[in-house]
Structure 1
């Protein structure tokens, strides 16, 4: 199997880009758009350049004394004043900067040269190798660093670069511990598995996929450790373990200034301020890098996914599933219209393909299917909340006339909460245990509705009463751990309603609740839809919930919709074998019908992304599959405006086949080519 090809530049794939369009200017990196990051980077550049080039521009030699101007204040001759021997402070501070900067850089190189490769090896081999490396690094962490450094100084003398190299060896254990967790997390991502399946060796997987994903953490840790290294060098010089006189050093200059606090207090200001600002600048730069890490990685991932999707479309043309995804008009009463949605992993397979859905105003659309069918990925793509490394790579998500695909994160934040809201399946995870319910409700209310604190609390109490909580004032004073599961889910629904949204995405909102509370929550959602005109996208495994609450339903399997339409039509007259199988395996039995001795079952599991077969993706588990099912075919209209993705729809309907092994065996025995 060949290695994956490099992703083309997205700008080269734009079909309508004029030939005369001027080249885009490169955007400023995100961390430099933060004041702390910009100022920190600027100061570090000034200090590094100024220190390394000091011999070329300093006004005085660092050893030149002017005893007539001892402890002088800043003047035109000496911009930062002079020291107790009349030496120019500016010249000495600038010249002294090269030692801590270069020594700290050497410490970083040694620490990461040891810790980072060990972390990559341990993450790749989690058994005995990881345990051995971790125990060895724990020994390094247990060693007293200060004592060891003083011992090294006793052996090699005041050779600060060598001392800092030894310190880098000690720090490599801490670097390893941080990087191991990050590398283990990255190696669990699907695109890393896809690269390994595609035949990439260990080194290429680490270089091309794992290390780039760790880039932000490496930069943050490097900036922080750089500041620590500067403090260590200055501290050693302060204690007398630095360059001997008359060579300048920041630590010795601070030590010298501390003995002149009464007769020359200004002496401490220049050297102390330069050291403090350099350390603070390194930490501010680290904070800025950490703040832009998640969003920046996600933007890069989305750009790469869109480029890959465009390249695949240009090379392969339209596939069978894309050809039948004809342009569907958006109804006038549609709140949401999803058309030919595709969600992909960077450098890996598609997770969702060709999904088209319509949610009308004041209705509930159910997404149903087994785990791994793409329901949650589809639902979370509506809010732009896909995991890192996963992005929408094709199609459109039209919400109230606006296509949300490709919108910047800042613009999507204007939709989340105020126009599209989310209810998660784990209420205790959705609520922050450190804050009261009042704090968690009034904050979004004030942000979305622009009201004061008192009015926000009144609205919060009213929302709690609207979701069936009688003692709203007591709940507002409570914390999440003081609530039951059903009460916490009601609070989550109230939280979703704080921005008065038009669309509610409910990702299995009753999964973690018992049967009685499930019924109460479903009744609450039904009342909200009826009374407020709210539209809901409901992700669920439970066909009983679909029958009870949903107006329309879309059955998903292996990343695509296999059957969709009005709920009554799909559940009463299922046309796709997968829908039949789900209904046959459902334990709910209508009144008056006998209870079957054994529920129908579906052999096998949902195929993983990247292993989907040609044609029908359910064919490998279907009782009625023939050779025709394994070639591309178009969808078929069904259920009065819905669809079904099956090549044998007419055959199954003609023979009135249901999902039972007995009927399937009889049918396949009498149908030409029916043997599997």
Structure 2
């Protein structure tokens, strides 16, 4: 049976019920919601709640005090204050909403694009935001008023444009901090398009700061609107809180109580927006306890089969990856590397840290950092990848070419359940409906040896162990039955027991799917246990390539012999060369 505590929704876009419970347990948040709901309902039902026509004057009621005829009194023209206050709520709330909408659409949209893509989009976005911030806001608004007249809606829309850099700066900074996170790379590798990655995995990181900023912008919009109409620069025919404040201020010595009602409406609404934003931030930012360490179920060990004699699935020829130094010279991190992977074969790419193994793997996936310069040829299943359009390459990733990263917990987005992160690539590449994709994901979780697939499907990443997280990533990688699997140090972060289980799982999946595997590792024990052929890298070059049996029996290059000597000096690796040769 599944643990009821893990029964959270598997739709990533729906906030967890715990967030709502935390919000409702916050007394200030509940009070803010109550006041804002009251203002909103009053604005929507103003026509039915108002006892009088808000624009109907009565000479006999000029500056009348609160009483049975007028609950809040009458203003300097004899109009009912309560009726005008209710109708003014419509205009003030709608004007603030317009400002917030314009600022959010422009600022958040530009911040997401600039933060995610960088480059010229970042330069242009930052330049425009700085230019807008340099404009004197009140002068710009007065200039607009002089051109278009006292239009409240135009004024609030222009104010939204002037406030958009605030959203841009916050969102740009947040997205820039996560665009190179491993779970974003994992989403790219799974074949998700940039718009889906931005909308699903990147947008979540700006949720809390954007909510807080939205409250500030809403408060500023209400205050500015009230200030403009208080100064008499608004449309006098439209009832607003600021216009009511102007009328009450003109009669402050005769009817001081009338000043309190619009002042309270403005002040309490701004305070309520700020309190609600803080409450929402606290509720939406999940805090997780460290997951307990646990061991996965033992898998039955199976001996590796003989190397397949299939045709070359991947051909890398004379691959060069270089980065420009500050002095203008180029530093090669991958230098004329050539290797091939056949169908059904596990090809090990081994070397010390910094030898260029991961850069080679990322070159195949076209996921190198900005600034990398490449040359050479990468042919996958008869298709040249180096000049392939981005859309076609996106379709290949996660479908025909899959990737398993070396840090399982960092490659799962903490904001979404395990199941939702498995379902989305399946639906993207296979066109399945939600129910069919869910069934496929549960089948995969069971296939990779997770004891309770339903529970793991509904769990968040912090609720599973590192070994289970690695199995989840393997399940996601093979979900679409790829032809080529690139595994980058898939066992580095795991203990010895779980490492052996993961290697057995990769071996079984290779047998079942007949896929080629490029295994990036620094561990000769893993190479001996799993690989058919191996290429040894040093300083960006492949110094030796050959069948595992032959290379382990008689390494030719001095660097390969030095690596074996180091292994022997420090102890036998997991899965000795002799075991690998005999298997």
TM-score (norm 1): 0.48
In structure 2, which of residues 27, 43, 58 is the aligned counterpart of residue 51 of structure 1? 43
Supply the distance in 1 between the matched residues of 2:471 and 2:163 (Cα, whole angstroms): 33
Select the structure with the greater relative contact order (CA < 8 A; seq sep ≥ 6): 2
Cα distance, 1:128 vs. partner?
2.9
1:276 matched to 2:267 = yes
In structure 2, which of residues 173, 178, 182 is the aligned counterpart of residue 190 of structure 1? 182
Cα distance, 1:671 vs. partner?
4.6
Cα distance, 1:129 vs. partner?
2.5
Supply the distance in 2 between the matched residues of 1:222 and 1:39 (Cα, whole angstroms): 19
| Structure 1 pair 345–104 and aligned structure 2 pair: CA distance change class (3 A) | farther
* Aligned residue number for residue 19 of structure 1: none
Secondary structure of the corresponding residue to residue 68 of structure 1: helix
1:293 matched to 2:284 = yes
Q: Is the 8 A contact 2:489 2:520 kept in 1?
A: no
Cα distance, 1:181 vs. partner?
0.9
Cα distance, 1:34 vs. partner?
1.5
| Structure 1 pair 145–74 and aligned structure 2 pair: CA distance change class (3 A) | same
Supply the distance in 2 between the matched residues of 1:350 and 1:236 (Cα, whole angstroms): 59
* Aligned residue number for residue 561 of structure 1: 495
> Which deviates more, 225-234 or 127-136?
127-136
Q: Is the 8 A contact 1:343 1:350 kept in 2?
A: no
Q: Is the 8 A contact 1:107 1:229 kept in 2?
A: yes
In structure 1, which of residues 244, 248, 256 is the aligned counterpart of residue 247 of structure 2? 256
Q: Is the 8 A contact 1:233 1:251 kept in 2?
A: yes
Q: Is the 8 A contact 2:212 2:278 kept in 1?
A: yes
* Aligned residue number for residue 329 of structure 1: none
* Aligned residue number for residue 565 of structure 2: 660
Measured against aligned partners, the alpha-carbon deviations of 1:477-522 in whole angstroms (never above 9, x if no partner) come to xxxxxxxxxxxxxxxxxxxxxxxxxxxxxxxxxxxxxxxxxxxxxx
Q: RMSD of the TM alignment (CA)?
A: 4.8
Supply the distance in 2 between the matched residues of 1:342 and 1:119 (Cα, whole angstroms): 36
Supply the distance in 2 between the matched residues of 1:158 and 1:220 (Cα, whole angstroms): 31
Supply the distance in 1 between the matched residues of 2:419 and 2:577 (Cα, whole angstroms): 47
1:200 matched to 2:192 = yes
1:674 matched to 2:581 = yes
* Aligned residue number for residue 152 of structure 1: 144
Measured against aligned partners, the alpha-carbon deviations of 1:41-67 in whole angstroms (never above 9, x if no partner) come to 221222122123312331101232333
Secondary structure of the corresponding residue to residue 235 of structure 2: coil
| Structure 1 pair 346–130 and aligned structure 2 pair: CA distance change class (3 A) | farther
Structure 1 residues without counterparts, runs of 5 or longer:
1-8, 14-23, 324-337, 352-371, 375-556, 565-575, 578-606, 632-647, 653-657
| Structure 1 pair 30–312 and aligned structure 2 pair: CA distance change class (3 A) | farther
Structure 2 residues without counterparts, runs of 5 or longer:
1-5, 11-15, 291-412, 423-437, 452-462, 477-487, 512-516, 533-548, 554-562
* Aligned residue number for residue 79 of structure 1: 71
Cα distance, 1:144 vs. partner?
0.4
Aligned residue runs from structure 1 range 217-228, under 5 A: 217-228=209-220
1:315 matched to 2:443 = yes
| Structure 1 pair 35–345 and aligned structure 2 pair: CA distance change class (3 A) | farther
Secondary structure of the corresponding residue to residue 285 of structure 2: helix
Aligned residue runs from structure 1 range 637-652, under 5 A: none
Supply the distance in 1 between the matched residues of 2:34 and 2:72 (Cα, whole angstroms): 21
| Structure 1 pair 27–669 and aligned structure 2 pair: CA distance change class (3 A) | closer
TM-score (norm 2): 0.55
| Structure 1 pair 165–57 and aligned structure 2 pair: CA distance change class (3 A) | same
Supply the distance in 1 between the matched residues of 2:576 and 2:192 (Cα, whole angstroms): 46
Cα distance, 1:77 vs. partner?
2.0
Cα distance, 1:319 vs. partner?
6.3
Cα distance, 1:266 vs. partner?
0.6
| Aligned residue pair count | 374
Supply the distance in 2 between the matched residues of 1:131 and 1:619 (Cα, whole angstroms): 36
Supply the distance in 1 between the matched residues of 2:39 and 2:187 (Cα, whole angstroms): 42
